[in-house]
Each structure stands twice: as structure tokens, then as C-alpha cells.
Amino acid sequence: MLNPKDFDVPANYQHWEGDKAEDRIGPFFFARQNGRIETAFRAEDRHCNAHNAVHGGVLMTFADYTLCLGANGGEQQFVATVSCNNEFLAPANKGDLLLGEAEVLKRGRSLVFVRCVIRAGDVAILTASAVIKLLR
């Protein structure tokens, strides 16, 4: 179990176990706050692109993490992303603590609709929305 403090993320966030690609791209962390899933990761040099901004793929992966945890509520329920739309609002930089907040708009029997905004401080960095399938 990865420790958020080792990645300069506040200690109230926890790690979702079992996804090696996610850990390699991030790692990312989550917390349940007021019935919502919130997520966090600290941008380091290895997350950055040729412009020294956080890479779009890292941001989309973090958004997908946020949306999937929003859909499964942080439980060990497996999910699969059906579609994921992203808009890039502003660049994030090395050292930024990136925070995501998942908002579930509709929870169906097999499909969950979620959207999120990723922020660095007061600045909105990325907005995303997804259709997520609940797997048995």
C-alpha cells in the first residue's frame, strides 16, 4: 500500500490497490469527503512534458482515476470506462498539488455518469466527463 506522505500528498488520502499502470503514471490517491470522492497527486518532474507542464496524458489518466473512483465510490467494485471527454483549461506545473472532485450525475444499473474538475489551488486545470460501466 503506497503511503501518500511519500508522494507529498496529505495523509488523509489513501491508495487504491492493484493497478500497476496507474501507480507508474501517478501514483494517485483518493479520499471520501462529505459523501464525495476527492483525489490528489503531486506533480513531479517525471509527470511533465516538453514544456515542463504536466503532460496531458497524465492529467487524463488522473481524471479517469477520479471518475472511476467516483463511479465505484472507492470500493473494490471493478469498473470500465466506456467514454471519457476532456477539456484542457490551463497548464499545471511541477510542484502543484492537483486535486480532483468526482460528481456522480446518474447512477444506473450498469452505467454511471460522472464528471470532474481537476484543480491546482484556485485554478481549474482540466474538466472531464465519462460514462463508466460497472463490471460484475
Size of the site for a second copy (CB under 8 A): 46
| Cα–Cα dist 123/4, whole Å | 23
Stretch that binds a second copy, among 4-12, 13-21, 29-37 (CB under 8 A): 13-21
Closest contact distance (angstroms) between CB of 48 and a second copy is: 6
Residue from the set 9, 37, 58, 120 that interacts with a second copy by CB under 8 A: 58
Nearest to residue 102, comparing CAs of 77, 126, 58, 70?
Answer: 70
Residue from the set 2, 19, 72, 134 that interacts with a second copy by CB under 8 A: 19
Stretch that binds a second copy, among 4-12, 32-40, 110-118 (CB under 8 A): 110-118
